[in-house]
Amino acid sequence: MNRYRIRTTTSRALLLVFAFIMSAFFALPLLWLLTAPFSTQANLAVKIPETPSLANFEAVFRNKFAIRALFQNNLIIGGGVMVLVASVATLASYGLSRTRVPGRDVLVYILILFSSVVSGTAAMVPLFLLIFNLGLIDTYLGVILVMTGGLLPSGIFIMRDFVDSIPRSYEEAALVAGASSFRMFRDVAFPLVRPGVMVVAIWAFVNAWGAFLIPSVLLRSPEHMPASIAFYSFYTEAGTPNLTLVSAYAFLYTIPVLLLYLIVNWRFGFRFFGGIKS
Amino acid sequence: MERRAIFSAKVGFLFLAPALAFVAVFLLYPFVRVFLLSFTNQTLLGTTAPNPEWVGFDNYRRLFDFDRWMRLGEFGSALKITTQFVIGSALIGQVGLGLLIAWAFYRKKGVLRETVYTLVIMAWIIPETVVAFTWVAFLDRDFGTLNALLDAVGLGQPDWLFKHPLESIILFNSWRGAAFSLLLFSSALETIPPSYIETAEVAGANAWQKFRDIFFPLLRGHILTDLILITLWTFNVFTPFLLTGGGPARRTELVSIYTYRTAFHGQHEFGKGGAIAVVMMLINFALALVYLSLIRRRRVHG
Amino acid sequence: MSQITFENVVKRFGSVVAVDNVTLTIGEGEFVALLGPSGCGKTTTLRLIAGLELADQGRILIGDRDVTYLPPAARDVAMVFQDYALYPHMTILDNIGYPLKVRGVSRAERARRVTEVARELQIANLLERRPSQLSGGQQQRASVARAVVHQAVAFLFDEPLSNLDAQLRLEARAFLKHLQNELGVTTVYVTHDQAEAMALADRIVVMRLGKIMQIGTPLEVYRNPANTFVASFIGSPPMNLLSGTALVGQGQFVMDDETVIDMGEVYRRMSRPPLDGQEITLGIRPEHITIHAEPHPHAIPGQLYVVQPMGGETLVNVRVGSKLVTVRLFQDEPPALPDQVWLKPALDASFVYGADGERLS
């Protein structure tokens, strides 16, 4: 009994130490983002500024190029990807879930694997030519379509969990009550999967918001560049970054992502979405 | 109960059609196209841009020129660096951290767990350009937080990105991607009925025995699924470019960065880029097949 | 209100035959229970009527209309689901009114008719709430209200009481029977609970592995179970089924472990008696056995196993050879019995089944 008490106390202390080390490892690299934007002369050190200032943000807002990147280009690209991925993934996972498709789980699994194989820079080579041939180089549409194609399999994977959790009797009740397939989808199925649609939409938006590789390959003109690339406008001609402005811009760029995370965490609890039955 | 259909196959197909179109155009077509591309000398600029010529296996011969391919900045070197990077940051770093944290906080609620989880997830969702900057600051020789800490305990101030660039990006990528494994494992752990663990506890099993005898066998499928996805993603990841640009002296040039440099810089050699892409996809496919066969073997043995 | 007819209906799922050549007529205004263990095809039969499954062979008629290939919407039936299927994103008012809404009934008319039905079902005060704010019993009533409001030609119930706790279930059972008496709508009711089927139905259809084992009024299936399956399924505690050999000449039944039961006149009164030496099963309901502390003529010996007081009655389990025999005593006080007891079956009330499980009479 006494030994058991000692053991539980020890394991609790161990957990505390472990939690501390992990928190430090994951938090320390981010601290700079909290201090540098507010100091007038930031360098790479984490130092709480003696007189916190918002002057850096003023300077950032004077950079028209960077501001348009953040508040226009990023919103257009993120919004487009969000709408496309959420709607196409919802329809697809619903169709998959509610039709008798043999080997459906395996199908989705293979799709995920395939999209993981055809991704990154390797896929960018043929995708660049595809977008080039379609005449969509340096357009938002080209970036949105390529991103949607890449995110869709995982989007369907996430959505599947939500769709599968809806009891079929809801839809059957609507059918027996006299609704057509599409009316049933509109009145019953869609409202019920709305949380899933929201999660997929936010997930797609956050992915598109932070993307660097795809826009840097598919876009040319400065006025189309998203924020991930607009950082280069805070570099001097010699190619060194103006750290105070970079940090302030990074701060602004990160806020929407954190807000969306908080929304998802508050509404649904941030967890692993997507069937993980192997 | 078996899965019941709500609609006919025809209506179901209408729901699936947009997704099928996207998959066909943005996954299947590029996959096929890149094979054809890899046998040409297509470039973005110059005479071969409008009229690429069929060059057979030339691009592949250039990749596998064994006299020089292990030199920094060549394909063999990129493959070797990528392998080290995948093993270090994905298999050990991300999967290890994810499993460790999920296991440590199994069936625990409260501030401690919330704090650790939130921080791990932050590292995962903040835009890649931003974390690249914060890591440059974190690893800086003179001002970085890491060296400030190491200096305080008398371990000196190594120049991480210059002297230990590969270790740096491995550490970085472990940090960046641990969240996926953590979330996957913690929701997998939730599917294990508490009574399984309680039975073992009543029988007198210690933490290691519980992990080895109950969690590990039950989670094997999830671990394999996680390994397969993490391996493929890490193989293709481009983010370290933002930290090191592949340098110094191409010492962190992963295959993804090598491809980028070949196809989207300088000469814009799409043909050669396509050949690299083909080799990468084949390696990815091989890896996926190995894991899938492991999963299937598990099923056969029940 | 219509009669429902099944003509040689077959439904397969892959290699499983869920409904195996079923022919059945459910009369106008009749309350029929489909009873059987899980996987017997009762739910599939119900879903075939609703149009949620389509038959592979045969015809289904509602009234004079062939509905075999009609979608659910065109069949004009109402269904109550096991989990009630009340939409969490709609109020109870909107839930009950949904079948009317789909049919284009105006908002005001919908509210009027829903309120009327809700008043009858005593849930009028809950109409503004969401399903999650209702108790299980209230949700059950709301889902019944959704079926009633629709004025359908038939009601289909899929185990509607199985999610309620024991006490509420009895209450809801009485309520459903009363409602059906009032409305007189043709009703098909799926359950695996024989007591529920007995209490509610005008006729019971006992199913097993997609086939109909027996159709009859509750009393008919209880008094004359056509086969060992029905015999073991209807009645609680279930009938004692003893397997053994018929010695017709000696008027005896020899149980597998050699215990001999004197069958008296039983074989002689049968128009189709078993052959001498044929394997048969003897069925005796627990209430048709008396138990004695002393040896008794025509009684078989057994060892007292346990005594289970049930309140109004007492169940006694006795080991006869390798078999446990249940005896039901209509007395609240458990009897004082020695370890060695004698059982005397009332042979007039016993049943003889052949090796194929079908009744010999």
Domain boundaries, chain B: 82-300
State which residue of chain C sits closest to B6, comparing Cα positions. C52
Interchain contact, C50 vs A172, CB within 8 Å: yes
Beta-carbon count within 10 A of B241 CB: 24
State which residue of chain A sits closest to B136, comparing Cα positions. A44
Q: Which pairing describes strands C240-247 and C279-284: parallel, antiparallel, or unpaired?
A: antiparallel
Q: Could you give phi then psi for residue C356, rounded to 5 degrees?
A: -85, 0
| B3 touches C: beta carbon within 8 Å | no
Domains of chain A: 63-267 (1.10.3720.10)
What residues in chain C have their Cβ under 8 A from chain B's Cβ atoms?
A: 13, 52-53
**Confidence check: pLDDT of A73 > 60:** yes
Q: What is the mean pLDDT of residues C335-358?
A: 91
Nearest CA-CA distance, residue C245 and chain A, Å:
49
Peptide bond connecting C71 to the previous residue in cis, omega within 30 degrees of 0: no
Interchain contact, A121 vs B277, CB within 8 Å: yes
Q: Which residues of B9-30 are buried (b: 16+ CB within 10 A; e: fewer)?
A: eebbeebbebbeebbebbbebb
Query: Which residues 17-56 in chain B show a CB within 8 A of chain A?
Result: 18-20, 22-23, 25-27, 29-31, 33-34, 37, 42
**Confidence check: pLDDT of A63 > 50:** yes
The four Cα atoms C299, C304, C309, C315 give a dihedral, to 10 degrees, of -40
Chain A neighbours, 3+ Cβ pairs < 8 A = B, C
The lowest-confidence range among A98-107, B82-91, B253-262, B293-302 is: B293-302
Chain segment C186-237, per-residue pLDDT in tens: 999 999 999 999 999 999 999 999 999 999 999 999 999 999 999 999 998 9
Chain segment A123-177, per-residue pLDDT in tens: 888 898 889 889 999 999 999 999 999 999 889 888 887 888 888 899 999 999 9
Chain segment C142-161, per-residue pLDDT in tens: 999 999 998 889 999 999 99
DSSP class of residue C349 equals: G
Q: Distance (Å, rounded) from C-alpha C105 to C-alpha C124? A: 20
| A167 touches C: beta carbon within 8 Å | yes
| A23 touches B: beta carbon within 8 Å | yes
Amino acid at position B265, single letter = H
Interchain contact, A213 vs B260, CB within 8 Å: yes
Residues in chain A: 278
The lowest-confidence range among A198-202, B176-180, B295-299, C258-262 is: B295-299
Q: Which helix (H) or strand (E) holds B173?
A: helix B165-190
**Confidence check: pLDDT of A4 > 80:** no
Chains B and C: how many Cβ contacts under 8 Å? 3
Chain segment A227-269, per-residue pLDDT in tens: 888 888 888 777 777 778 888 888 989 999 889 888 888 887 7
State which residue of chain B sits closest to A169, comparing Cα positions. B6
Interchain contact, A45 vs B4, CB within 8 Å: no
Interchain contact, C52 vs B4, CB within 8 Å: yes
List where CATH 3.40.50.300 sits in chain C.
4-233
Q: Distance (Å, rounded) from C-alpha A203 to C-alpha A226? A: 18
**Confidence check: pLDDT of C114 > 80:** yes
| B181 touches A: beta carbon within 8 Å | no
Give the pair of three-digit tokens for residue C22.
């079923």
* CA–CA distances in Å: residue A265 to residues A202, A273, B121: 11, 12, 11
| B2 touches C: beta carbon within 8 Å | yes
| A179 touches C: beta carbon within 8 Å | yes
Give the pair of three-digit tokens for residue C179.
């409602």
Nearest CA-CA distance, residue B135 and chain A, Å:
6
In this predicted structure, what is the pLDDT of residue C112? 93
- Identify the architecture of domain C4-233 in CATH: 3-Layer(aba) Sandwich (3.40)
State which residue of chain C sits closest to A168, comparing Cα positions. C85
Does the ipTM exceed 0.90? no
Which residues in chain B are closer than 8 Å to C52, comparing Cβ atoms? 4
Q: What is the mean pLDDT of residues A200-227?
A: 89
Which residues in chain C are closer than 8 Å to A178, comparing Cβ atoms? 72-73, 76, 99, 102-103
Closest CA to B1 of A169, A162, A157, A163: A169
| B249 touches A: beta carbon within 8 Å | no
State which residue of chain B sits closest to A16, comparing Cα positions. B112
- Label residue A1 by pLDDT band (50, 70, 90): low
Per DSSP, the residues of A101-142 read -TTHHHHHHHHHHHHHHS-HHHHHHHHHHHHHHTT-TTSHHH
Chain segment A101-114, per-residue pLDDT in tens: 777 777 887 888 88
State which residue of chain A sits closest to B172, comparing Cα positions. A29
State which residue of chain B sits closest to C38, comparing Cα positions. B1
Nearest CA-CA distance, residue A106 and chain C, Å:
19
Which residues in chain C are closer than 8 Å to A176, comparing Cβ atoms? 50-52, 72-73, 75, 77-79, 156
Query: Which residues 184-223 in chain A show a CB within 8 A of chain C?
Result: 187-188, 191-192
Which residues in chain C are closer than 8 Å to A170, comparing Cβ atoms? 85, 87
DSSP class of residue A271 equals: -
In this predicted structure, what is the pLDDT of residue C40? 92
Name the residue among B26, B188, B274 with its Cβ closest to that of A146: B26
Q: In sequence order, which residues have a C-beta less than 8 Å from that of residue C56 and are 6 or more positions away?
A: C10, C11, C12
**Confidence check: pLDDT of C5 > 80:** yes
Nearest CA-CA distance, residue B68 and chain A, Å:
22
Q: What is the mean pLDDT of residues B114-131?
A: 91
Which residues in chain C are closer than 8 Å to A182, comparing Cβ atoms? none
State which residue of chain A sits closest to C52, comparing Cα positions. A172
**Confidence check: pLDDT of C344 > 80:** yes
Mutation to test the C interface, candidates A172, A176, A188, A190, most C Cβ within 10 Å = A176
Handedness of CA B216, B221, B227, B229 (dihedral sign): negative
| A255 touches B: beta carbon within 8 Å | no
Q: Could you give phi then psi for residue C326, rounded to 5 degrees?
A: -100, 135
Which residues in chain B are closer than 8 Å to C53, comparing Cβ atoms? 4
| A231 touches B: beta carbon within 8 Å | yes
In this predicted structure, what is the pLDDT of residue B229? 85
- pTM recorded for the entire structure: 0.82
Q: What is the mean pLDDT of residues A69-93?
A: 92
State which residue of chain B sits closest to C14, comparing Cα positions. B2
Q: Could you give phi then psi for residue B128, rounded to 5 degrees?
A: -65, -35
| A202 touches B: beta carbon within 8 Å | no
- Label residue B2 by pLDDT band (50, 70, 90): very low
* CA–CA distances in Å: residue A66 to residues A63, A74, A225, A228, C158: 6, 11, 9, 10, 62
Q: What is the mean pLDDT of residues B115-127?
A: 91
In this predicted structure, what is the pLDDT of residue B150? 83
According to CATH, what is the number of the domain C240-360? 2.40.50.140
| A39 touches B: beta carbon within 8 Å | no
Which residues in chain C are closer than 8 Å to A166, comparing Cβ atoms? none
Q: Could you give phi then psi for residue B255, rounded to 5 degrees?
A: -60, -35
Interchain contact, A188 vs C87, CB within 8 Å: yes
Name the residue among A167, A177, A188 with its Cβ closest to that of C83: A167
Nearest CA-CA distance, residue B207 and chain A, Å:
10
Give the pair of three-digit tokens for residue A187.
């009145």
- Label residue B192 by pLDDT band (50, 70, 90): confident
Give the pair of three-digit tokens for residue B6.
């709500």
Interchain contact, B137 vs A246, CB within 8 Å: no
- Label residue A10 by pLDDT band (50, 70, 90): confident
Which residues in chain A are closer than 8 Å to B208, comparing Cβ atoms? none
Which residues in chain A are closer than 8 Å to C148, comparing Cβ atoms? none
Looking at per-residue pLDDT, the higher value among B49 and B256 belongs to: B256
According to CATH, what is the number of the domain B82-300? 1.10.3720.10
Chains A and C: how many Cβ contacts under 8 Å? 60
